[in-house]
Protein backbone atom coordinates (compact mmCIF):
# COMPACT_ATOMS: atom_id res chain seq x y z
CA UNK A 1 0.00 0.00 0.00
CA UNK A 2 1.16 3.56 -0.60
CA UNK A 3 2.66 5.80 2.04
CA UNK A 4 1.66 9.47 1.85
CA UNK A 5 4.18 12.01 3.14
CA UNK A 6 3.28 15.57 4.10
CA UNK A 7 5.43 18.22 5.81
CA UNK A 8 4.00 18.86 9.29
CA UNK A 9 3.71 22.62 8.88
CA UNK A 10 3.60 25.46 6.40
CA UNK A 11 3.01 29.19 6.61
CA UNK A 12 2.02 31.97 4.28
CA UNK A 13 1.10 35.62 4.54
CA UNK A 14 -2.41 36.94 4.06
CA UNK A 15 -3.05 37.41 0.34
CA UNK A 16 -0.10 35.28 -0.72
CA UNK A 17 -0.08 31.83 -2.30
CA UNK A 18 1.08 28.51 -0.89
CA UNK A 19 1.61 25.02 -2.26
CA UNK A 20 1.01 22.06 0.05
CA UNK A 21 2.51 18.80 -1.16
CA UNK A 22 1.55 15.20 -0.58
CA UNK A 23 4.15 12.75 -1.85
CA UNK A 24 3.28 9.16 -2.75
CA UNK A 25 5.80 6.42 -2.07
CA UNK A 26 7.68 4.94 -4.98
CA UNK A 27 5.66 2.71 -7.31
CA UNK A 28 2.36 4.54 -6.87
CA UNK A 29 2.66 7.33 -9.42
CA UNK A 30 -0.73 6.61 -11.01
CA UNK A 31 -2.67 6.96 -7.75
CA UNK A 32 -5.24 9.64 -7.06
CA UNK A 33 -5.23 11.54 -3.80
CA UNK A 34 -8.05 13.35 -1.99
CA UNK A 35 -7.41 16.57 -0.09
CA UNK A 36 -9.30 17.45 3.09
CA UNK A 37 -9.37 20.69 5.08
CA UNK A 38 -9.80 20.52 8.85
CA UNK A 39 -10.31 23.80 10.65
CA UNK A 40 -9.39 23.90 14.36
CA UNK A 41 -11.92 21.96 16.43
CA UNK A 42 -13.94 20.87 13.38
CA UNK A 43 -14.36 17.73 11.33
CA UNK A 44 -12.57 17.46 7.99
CA UNK A 45 -14.23 18.52 4.75
CA UNK A 46 -13.48 17.33 1.26
CA UNK A 47 -11.61 19.81 -0.94
CA UNK A 48 -10.88 18.00 -4.20
CA UNK A 49 -9.29 14.96 -5.81
CA UNK A 50 -6.07 15.02 -7.81
CA UNK A 51 -4.52 12.41 -10.05
CA UNK A 52 -1.32 12.28 -12.09
CA UNK A 53 -3.00 14.44 -14.75
CA UNK A 54 -4.42 16.95 -12.31
CA UNK A 55 -7.93 17.72 -11.02
CA UNK A 56 -10.41 14.82 -10.98
CA UNK A 57 -14.17 15.04 -10.48
CA UNK A 58 -15.74 17.93 -8.62
CA UNK A 59 -14.77 20.16 -5.71
CA UNK A 60 -16.30 19.89 -2.30
CA UNK A 61 -19.25 22.12 -1.43
CA UNK A 62 -18.24 25.71 -0.80
CA UNK A 63 -14.59 25.30 -1.79
CA UNK A 64 -13.58 28.61 -3.40
CA UNK A 65 -11.89 28.96 -6.77
CA UNK A 66 -8.72 30.03 -4.94
CA UNK A 67 -8.07 26.33 -4.33
CA UNK A 68 -6.54 24.25 -7.11
CA UNK A 69 -4.46 21.09 -7.46
CA UNK A 70 -1.55 19.80 -9.46
CA UNK A 71 -0.34 16.26 -10.07
CA UNK A 72 3.29 15.67 -11.07
CA UNK A 73 5.25 12.46 -10.70
CA UNK A 74 4.71 11.23 -7.16
CA UNK A 75 3.55 14.64 -5.91
CA UNK A 76 -0.08 15.64 -5.47
CA UNK A 77 -0.19 19.32 -4.56
CA UNK A 78 -2.88 21.63 -3.21
CA UNK A 79 -2.38 25.25 -4.22
CA UNK A 80 -4.12 28.05 -2.37
CA UNK A 81 -4.02 31.54 -3.85
CA UNK A 82 -4.89 34.84 -2.15
CA UNK A 83 -4.78 33.18 1.26
CA UNK A 84 -7.44 34.25 3.74
CA UNK A 85 -7.57 33.94 7.54
CA UNK A 86 -10.17 31.17 7.27
CA UNK A 87 -7.68 29.02 5.32
CA UNK A 88 -5.66 28.41 8.51
CA UNK A 89 -6.30 24.70 8.95
CA UNK A 90 -4.87 21.22 8.93
CA UNK A 91 -4.75 19.80 5.41
CA UNK A 92 -4.82 16.02 5.01
CA UNK A 93 -4.31 13.90 1.92
CA UNK A 94 -5.72 10.40 1.55
CA UNK A 95 -5.68 7.59 -1.00
CA UNK A 96 -7.29 4.20 -1.31
CA UNK A 97 -5.57 1.00 -2.36
CA UNK A 98 -6.65 -2.46 -3.37
CA UNK A 99 -10.06 -4.06 -3.53
CA UNK A 100 -12.13 -6.61 -1.68
CA UNK A 101 -10.42 -7.95 1.41
CA UNK A 102 -7.22 -6.05 0.52
CA UNK A 103 -8.90 -2.65 0.41
CA UNK A 104 -7.47 0.05 2.65
CA UNK A 105 -7.48 3.85 2.86
CA UNK A 106 -4.30 5.59 3.99
CA UNK A 107 -3.74 9.20 5.02
CA UNK A 108 -0.71 11.42 5.26
CA UNK A 109 0.21 12.95 8.60
CA UNK A 110 -1.34 16.30 7.70
CA UNK A 111 0.12 19.76 7.18
CA UNK A 112 -0.92 22.62 9.46
CA UNK A 113 -1.09 25.88 7.52
CA UNK A 114 -0.52 29.04 9.53
CA UNK A 115 -1.69 32.33 8.02
CA UNK A 116 0.65 35.14 9.00
Give the shortest CB-5-to-other proteins separation in angstroms: 11
Long-range contacts made by residues 38-43, C-beta under 8 angstroms, separation at least 24? 38/89, 38/90, 38/91, 38/92, 38/110, 39/86, 39/88, 39/89, 39/90, 40/88, 40/89, 40/90
Q: In terms of CB distance, is 60 or 70 closer to other proteins? A: 60
CB of 52 to other proteins, least distance (A): 16
**Which residues bind to other proteins, rule: CB under 8 A?**
34, 36, 42-46, 49, 57, 60-61, 92, 94, 96, 99-101, 103-110
Residues in a beta bridge with 38: 90
Shortest spacing between CB 3 and other proteins, in angstroms: 12
With respect to other proteins, which residue has the nearer C-beta, 26 or 101? Answer: 101
Amino acid sequence: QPVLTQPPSASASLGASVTLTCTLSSGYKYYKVDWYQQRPGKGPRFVMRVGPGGYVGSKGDGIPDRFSVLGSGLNRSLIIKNIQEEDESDYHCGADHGSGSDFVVVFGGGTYLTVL
